[in-house]
Amino acid sequence: MTECDVLVIGGGPAGSTASALLAEKGWSVTQLEKDAHPKFHIGESLLPMNLPILEKLGVLDEVEEIGIRKYGVEFNCESRDKPTTYYFANALNKNHPYAYEVQREHFDKILFNNARRKGVTSHEQMRVVNVDFKTDGSSTIDAKDKDGNLQQWQARYLVDASGRGTVLGNKFKTKQRSKDHNSAAVFGHFSGVERREGKDEGNISIYWFEHGWFWFIPFKDGTMSVGAVCWPYYLNSRKVGVEQFLLDTLALCPAAMARMRDAKLISPVTATGNFSYRLSQMSGKGYLIVGDAFAFIDPVFSSGVLLGMNGAMNAADVVDGILREPDKENKLLRSHERMVRSGLKTFSWFIYRITQPTMRNMFMGPRNWFRVEEGVMSLLAGDLFRDTPVKRPLFIFKIIYSIAYLLNWRENRDSFKRRQQGLRSGQLAVEETSSNNETSESDNTSSPEKDVA
Q: What angle do CA 70, 109, 40 make, to 5 degrees?
A: 75
Q: How far apart are CA 134 and CA 120, in angstroms?
A: 24
Give the DSSP letter of residue 381.
T
Q: How far apart are CA 156 and CA 286, in angstroms?
A: 7
For residue 16, give the amino acid letter: S
- pLDDT tens digits, the chain, 453 residues: what are they? 899 999 999 999 999 999 999 999 999 999 999 999 999 888 999 999 999 999 999 999 999 999 999 999 999 998 788 999 999 999 999 999 999 999 999 999 999 999 999 999 999 999 999 999 999 999 999 999 999 999 999 999 999 999 999 999 999 999 998 776 778 899 999 999 999 999 999 999 999 998 999 999 999 999 999 999 988 788 888 999 999 999 999 999 999 999 999 999 999 999 887 678 999 999 999 999 999 999 999 999 999 999 999 999 999 999 999 999 999 999 999 999 999 999 999 999 999 888 888 999 999 998 999 999 999 999 999 999 999 999 999 999 999 999 999 998 888 787 777 666 665 554 444 444 444 433 333 434 333 333 322
Q: How far apart are CA 185 and CA 275, in angstroms?
A: 7
Q: How far apart are CA 302 and CA 307, in angstroms?
A: 9
Phi-psi region of 415 (alpha: psi -120 to 50; beta: other; left: phi over 0): alpha
**Closest by CA position to 382, among listed 416, 353, 347:** 347
Q: Tell me the three-class secondary structure of 62-110, residue by residue.
A: HHHHHCEEECEEEEECCCCCCCEEEEHHHCCCCCCCCEEECCHHHHHHH
Instruction: Give bridge partners of residue 265 from the DSSP assignment.
Output: 190
DSSP count for the chain of H helices, then E strands: 14, 22
Q: Coil, strand, or helix at residue 197?
A: coil
Q: Coil, strand, or helix at residue 27?
A: coil
User: Cα 126 vs. chain centroid, distance in angstroms?
Assistant: 23
Please state the φ and ψ torsions of residue 376, each to the nearest 5 degrees. Answer: -65, -40
Q: How far apart are CA 277 and CA 273, in angstroms?
A: 11
User: Cα 312 vs. chain centroid, distance in angstroms?
Assistant: 13
Pairing of β 127-133 and β 121-123:
unpaired
In the chain the domains, ranked by start, together with CATH numbers, are 2-41+57-62+103-177+277-338 (3.50.50.60)
What's the pLDDT score for residue 427?
Answer: 47
Residues 6 or more apart in contact with residue 410 via CB below 8 angstroms: none
HSE-CB of 143 using CA atoms within 13 angstroms: 29
Please state the φ and ψ torsions of residue 356, each to the nearest 5 degrees. Answer: -70, 140
Q: How far apart are CA 381 and CA 306, in angstroms?
A: 10
Q: What angle do CA 204, 208, 213 make, to 5 degrees?
A: 70
Q: Are 376 and 395 in contact (CB under 8 A)?
A: no
Pairing of β 224-230 and β 184-191:
antiparallel
Q: Coil, strand, or helix at residue 169?
A: helix
Q: Is the dihedral of CA 227, 230, 232, 236 positive or negative?
A: negative
Please state the φ and ψ torsions of residue 286, each to the nearest 5 degrees. Answer: 90, 5
Q: Are 307 and 345 in contact (CB under 8 A)?
A: no
Q: Is the dihedral of CA 391, 393, 395, 401 positive or negative?
A: negative
Please state the φ and ψ torsions of residue 96, each to the nearest 5 degrees. Answer: -135, 80
User: Cα 395 vs. chain centroid, distance in angstroms?
Assistant: 24
What's the pLDDT score for residue 443?
Answer: 39
Give the DSSP letter of residue 33.
-
**Closest by CA position to 53, among listed 83, 18, 95:** 18
